[in-house]
Amino acid sequence: MWYSTLDFTKSPLETDKTAMVKIELFNVDRGFCAAIEADNRHTILFDCGYSFRNGFRPARYLLSKPSLHLDYLIVPAYTTGHLVGFSDLIGHFLERRFSIDYLIANPSLDPDSLPELAVRNSGASEFLKSLNRVFEGCGDVEQKMHLGNVKVAFFWNNYPNFLDLRNLGLVMFLSYRDINIVFPSDLKIPGWRSLLKNPEFRDCLRQVNIFVASNHGQEDGYCPEVFNYCHPDLVIISNQVHQELPSVMLREYEGYAGGLRTNIGKQKVLTTRDAGTIAIHQSRDARLEVIAGQHESYRY
């Protein structure tokens, strides 16, 4: 089989009245970063991007949490732009400023393959060396998650079928009640088309109502065949303050999104460049809510 999937089903915590999920897509200058809090007891960090403008760092985010504990660090993309915060984060972890239970990465990558990838992908050498050290020194490198009420699925292309780091990124689907969101990392068009051959991947796309655009909404991450299966209500694009979304791509994504109903009409696309950090949350007894950094609220 060319592709693998990992599904993590709900636990008995479903009866917990405190059950909730909060997802924050941070407004960063470099790369991408999102945090998921589940049931007030689990925290996941997805990617390690950071911001020069507002001082956001993944390590600072974790140090601001009372528990100083991270259940899962997901390393979905392996290019320098996305992993500039990785060394800082791991440095704080090694200094025991906070704890990380598990690291999740593309399982087809291993320390033996990383030197070749460093040669083939210029600029990524230092990060890959750091990742190599983490792989070698961490016994808890897993592709399993236990997140209470949350269901998660991962998909990836395998090395050496792909040698481009962007096409080796993890794609994560996360669902909880009315939230069905996909994080495709920086996947390029050939990577999308490869994964679309997998019927389980297509089935996950059919469930998505919040679509995070690949590669910050740029054209080389846009695969129109994806939307033969995926019909989201909202597209979210993480782009930098100096990285305006091309108008042609805005029109494309707006054409595929159904829209969120608001008191001023429908919102089809939100960008971190314009909206700031975007929060998505839903508790056990409440409606799904999307809140932009400017404190605008959009409800289903």
pLDDT in tens, 97-120: 778 888 888 877 766 666 666 666
Task: Report the C-alpha gap between 176 and 280 in whole angstroms.
Answer: 11
CATH of the domain at 41: 3.60.15.10
In a domain, 33, yes or no: yes
Inside any domain, residue 39? yes
Report pLDDT digits (tens) over 195-230. 999 999 999 999 999 999 999 999 999 999 999 999
Q: Which of 285, 283, 280 is nearest to 267 (CA)?
A: 280
* The total number of structural domains that make up the chain: 1
| Span of 79-83, 168-172, 175-179, 284-288 with lowest mean pLDDT | 79-83
Confidence (pLDDT) at 35: 95
Q: Which is it for strands 289-291 and 297-299: parallel, antiparallel or unpaired?
A: antiparallel
Q: Residues near 256 by Cβ (< 8 Å), separated by ≥ 6? A: 211, 227, 230, 231, 232, 235
In a domain, 210, yes or no: yes
**∠ CA 237-26-166, rounded to 5°:** 55
Instruction: Assess if residue 226 is contained within a domain.
Output: yes
- 148: domain range? 6-299
The answer to whether position 157 is within a domain reads yes
- 1 belongs to a structural domain: no
